[in-house]
Amino acid sequence: MRRPTTAGLYTAGLLLLTAATGAIDAVSFLALDGVFTGNMTGNVLFLAFALVGVPDIPLLNNAFALLGFALGSVVGGRLVRRGHPMGLPVRSAWLLGAGTALVFVLAGVWATVGDLDGVGQIIVTAVLAALMGAQVAAVKPVGNTDITTVVVTSTLANVTRDSRLGGGRQTPSQWRHRTFAIVAMGAGAALGAAVLRVTDGPVALAASGVVFAAGVAALLVARSAQRRARTATQTAEVTPPSTPAHATTTRPTTPISATTP
């Protein structure tokens, strides 16, 4: 059986996080008063609609989602920093691990509290949005620009513009990554909505957390494999070649020339 490559594990992790974003957005939109926590394009539009008085569109919820996402991205950027070699830095790993725990904590608190009032909805929305913003900063060093984990509008534009019909020359790998990212977002959203139809918000958020945790686990496995490969390469570079056991060193002999007295 063929073993997955490090690049493949990174791709799988990013796709799972994309699916988790779709699932969490389904929960936030359908169970938290019509607000996205990962798709900020939609929130910008909703905020504009609310500002001009369109009814039944929450102003504060969308505003706090935008602020939470921005704050999470800023904090994530400060924690992860820049200049890393391509891969998952240790701070990114810790940040994603904390994010996984946070999803389940929020689901547990929500289940304990029950129906959330307006303030409770805003708090959960803002925290989830901050998590999504931090997630983007955490996976940035992986270096896969085709799978951003939170947005597919630009991904859809790229996969169509760079296609043969669009006169482009995207590689098969780019086509797969971009297409799978779009499918993953939709599949995650369908999962979140389907769970909500048969249960409630906390359970659906916990199910989204399981997908999120699977994505983080794949990234951690990829990071571990990358580190092992890097260590093996460095060891091979510094280890001198061994001398065969049967090889012996002979000293050249100086011929004795006859001299005439």
* CA distance linking residue 41 with residue 128, whole number of Å: 16
User: Does 233 map to a domain?
Assistant: no
What is the token pair recorded at 206?
Answer: 């916990």
The number of distinct structural domains making up the chain is 1
* CA distance linking residue 66 with residue 44, whole number of Å: 8
Residue labelled with tokens 């060093």: 141
| pLDDT beneath 50, residues of the chain | 248, 253-261
* CATH value at residue 112: 1.20.1250
Domain residues for 115? 6-226
Residue labelled with tokens 């570079």: 237
pLDDT of residue 256: 44
User: Does 113 map to a domain?
Assistant: yes
pLDDT tens for residues 163-207?
888 888 889 899 999 999 999 999 999 999 999 999 999 999 999
What is the token pair recorded at 182?
Answer: 């779009």
What is the token pair recorded at 85?
Answer: 């070699």
Integer CA distances (angstroms), 85 to 78, 89, 155, 223, in order = 17, 8, 24, 12
∠ at Cα 223 (95, 101), nearest 5°? 30
User: Does 56 map to a domain?
Assistant: yes
- Tell how far CA 20 is from the center of its chain: 9
User: Does 242 map to a domain?
Assistant: no
pLDDT of residue 238: 66
User: Does 232 map to a domain?
Assistant: no
pLDDT of residue 4: 80
Find the DSSP H helices in 145-243.
153-161, 172-198, 201-238
220-246 b/e (C-beta count within 10 Å ≥ 16 → b):
bbbbebbeeeeeeeeeeeeeeeeeeee
pLDDT of residue 81: 86
What is the token pair recorded at 153?
Answer: 């509008």
User: Does 234 map to a domain?
Assistant: no
User: Does 62 map to a domain?
Assistant: yes
pLDDT of residue 1: 61
* CA distance linking residue 154 with residue 18, whole number of Å: 14
Residue labelled with tokens 């951690």: 220
* CA distance linking residue 237 with residue 240, whole number of Å: 8
- Tell how far CA 26 is from the center of its chain: 18
Contact 196, 87 (CB under 8 A): no
> What do you get for the CA distance between the two ends of the chain, in Å?
81
User: Does 239 map to a domain?
Assistant: no
∠ at Cα 133 (129, 137), nearest 5°? 165
DSSP 5-48: PHHHHHHHHHHHHHHHHHHHHHHHHHHTTS--SS-HHHHHHHHH
Instruction: Note the maximum CA span of the chain.
Output: 125
